[in-house]
Structure 1
Amino acid sequence: MARLIYRLYNERALRCERVVRDRTNPLDMYNDEELIQRFCFSRVEIFSLVDELFDDLRFQSDRNAALTPTLQLLIALRFYANGAFQNTVGDMIGMHKSTACRVIRRVSLALSRRLPQYVNLPNEAEAIAVKQRFRQASGIPGIIACIDGTHIRIQAPSEYEHLYVNRKGHHSINVQLVCDANYKIINVVARWPGSTHDSRILRESELFNQFEARGVNGILLGDSGYPLKRWLLTPLLNPRTQQEQRYNAAHTTTRSIVERCIGVLKRRFHCLHGETRMHPERACTVIAACTVLHNIAMKKRIPLPRHDPLLCQDEEAPAIPAAQEDVAGRLVRAHVVNLLRA
């Protein structure tokens, strides 16, 4: 009995004491301009996001010094903004790396669940306004959005690693993005490995089915990596006449909107610009979360950090032309070419 008491006493004496770290609240330290530099959102927008995500982020009790929804959101926003290691993000608040990892995952899931609310096709009134703006910019009638693919680099996964190697030799997620004339993302598909061709991602998406079933009244502009359809116009590979050259020039100028949109997205949320050090499934959740935040920031006209230009070109490898072309698509494109007269 004495030996048992002695052993229990020694185990208790050698047990590590629990450490409770002092946590800082960045909202008490920075003004609005400094918050935008570090978190991409001002104080008002941060409080608005906290109110919206409160039910998803709150804990049932305050045991174990539970993080408030505000601190959880700030941790995630800081990670999205600079893409730093999670232990660096945790040090900002005063917490362990594993806690920061769980918080980023929790906030990303909460934001991704709101994807249908913030990332959706325009209604009838919005579509008319978007078409008018595209028509004024390009002269091509009926354009509702531009489509493009972009690669988000990730660390090499442990499973199916070869599928994630893209044409540049990097491991990535190939993300399909569709945006309107106001740089609002209206569709995103973030689940395909980097080796997947853009045309396949479109063909397997719900967006393809909606346009094929004539559920959307409008035309998409895409590069030569997409198939020519009656609702998807691609450039002419070998323009011969002046009208065809004017069509290609108008097509390129208009489609650059989606390239600039991708550039703004990646530079506002720098975690998408560098290598995302996460499992592919978690990286896709972060991409969806950043897409939601992008649309919120564009709607509220939140400026980019000062060191980043507003219209940033996204650097991607030239598209591999898609072989699929249908007769209806060629007829629609020929009609558009004839409309673009000097």
Structure 2
Amino acid sequence: MQLCSGDDFGVSQPTISRVIWQTITALTAPRVFHQFVKFPLTRQEVQRKQVEFMAIAGFPGVVCVIDGIHVRIVAPKDDEYAYVNRKRYHSINVQVVFDATYKILDIVAKWPGSVHDARILDESGLKMLFEDNYVPQPCHLLGDSGYSFKQWLLTPYTNRQLAAPQANYNRAHKRMRSVVERGIGQWKRRFHILHSEVRVAPDKVCKVIYACAILHNFCKNRGIPLPDADDCDDGAEEVEDDEAAPYHAAAGPVARGVQARRDHFAYVHFNVDE
């Protein structure tokens, strides 16, 4: 493609390559990045996000949904083994957070594929925003059971025998989770490079991912439609399911305390007849 672009513009392929990386570097500069990818921190912004999510499944207080996706890369020269994920290919594990309109609110693209989603969240600025109360309360992030349930992070029940409120909670949770799956699907439809093996060094792959996030939100802001569905599938089936690979499991009194908090939330908000 760079050779074709070079022919179109009458310049060499190396020149096209330099221009591409200059553009990506400019797009991902912090002052540009934070214009397009920013987490809501005012009460008015948070309440608007919560209303949008409440309309989907009646799930109160949710401001965003989170998941991790793996972007395939060529085997790097340094620390090659660290980039092999549990599906046995080399990747960057990307934490991405969507709102109800499928805009990206937060993204972390710097971790090798072997690192679990839960660890990425534990060491992210997003966790600090919630735990240090920078996000107006009450406010919730919603994720799959690969994450640990917290007061601000709502995860589903994994046991099969559930009381009615718990089952209602899980059904609503599943509908809310579809937002992140569709968001990732739309993101991949806009940028096919996220489907394929990116053949540059890991640090450059991360820049490419950030640039794709910025441009996705730019397209959303401007109402630029997605490519035709026939060009690419929606990507939903490619969302990594970490429910089978927990990062850490609480035990004893801690686990019972977690269960009690989730039960309380379910009984307060989902103790209704179908």
**TM-score, length-scaled by structure 2:** 0.87
Letter in 2 for 1:267: R
Q: What root-mean-square deviation, in Å, do the aligned CA atoms of Structure 1 and Structure 2 show? A: 2.0
**Residues 276-317 of structure 1, C-alpha deviation per residue, up to 9 Å, x if partnerless?**
111100110111111011011011111012234796524134
* 2-structure distance, mates of 1:185, 1:246: 28
Q: Equivalent residue of 1:223, what SS?
A: coil
* 2-structure distance, mates of 1:190, 1:285: 8
**Residues 134-175 of structure 1, C-alpha deviation per residue, up to 9 Å, x if partnerless?**
112122210000000001111111111111111111111000
* 2-structure distance, mates of 1:251, 1:322: 21
2:212 match: 290
1:302 match: 224
2:149 match: 228
Cα contact 2:70–2:240 (8 A) shared by 1? no
Instruction: Select between 180-189 and 311-320 the one with higher mean Cα deviation.
Output: 311-320
Cα contact 2:181–2:239 (8 A) shared by 1? no
Asked if residue 337 in structure 1 is aligned to residue 266 in structure 2, the reply is yes
Asked if residue 323 in structure 1 is aligned to residue 248 in structure 2, the reply is yes
Cα distance change, pair 124–106 in 1 and its aligned pair in 2 (3 A) = same
2:43 to 79, 101, 124: 124
- Provide structure 2 residue ranges, at least 5 long, that are not aligned to the other structure: none
CA drift of 1:88 comes to 4.4
Letter in 1 for 2:82: L
Cα contact 1:261–1:311 (8 A) shared by 2? no
Cα distance change, pair 124–91 in 1 and its aligned pair in 2 (3 A) = farther
1:267 to 184, 189, 207: 189
1:203 match: 122
Cα contact 1:244–1:337 (8 A) shared by 2? yes
Letter in 2 for 1:97: Q
* 2-structure distance, mates of 1:204, 1:301: 34
Instruction: Select between 302-311 and 209-218 the one with higher mean Cα deviation.
Output: 302-311
1:156 match: 75
* 2-structure distance, mates of 1:139, 1:335: 17
**TM-score, length-scaled by structure 1:** 0.71
Q: Equivalent residue of 2:105, what SS?
A: strand
- Provide structure 1 residue ranges, at least 5 long, that are not aligned to the other structure: 1-84
1:134 to 42, 53, 68: 53
How many residues were matched structurally? Answer: 258
Cα contact 2:102–2:180 (8 A) shared by 1? yes
CA drift of 1:93 comes to 3.3
Give identity over the alignment, percent: 44
CA drift of 1:249 comes to 1.4
* 2-structure distance, mates of 1:298, 1:164: 31
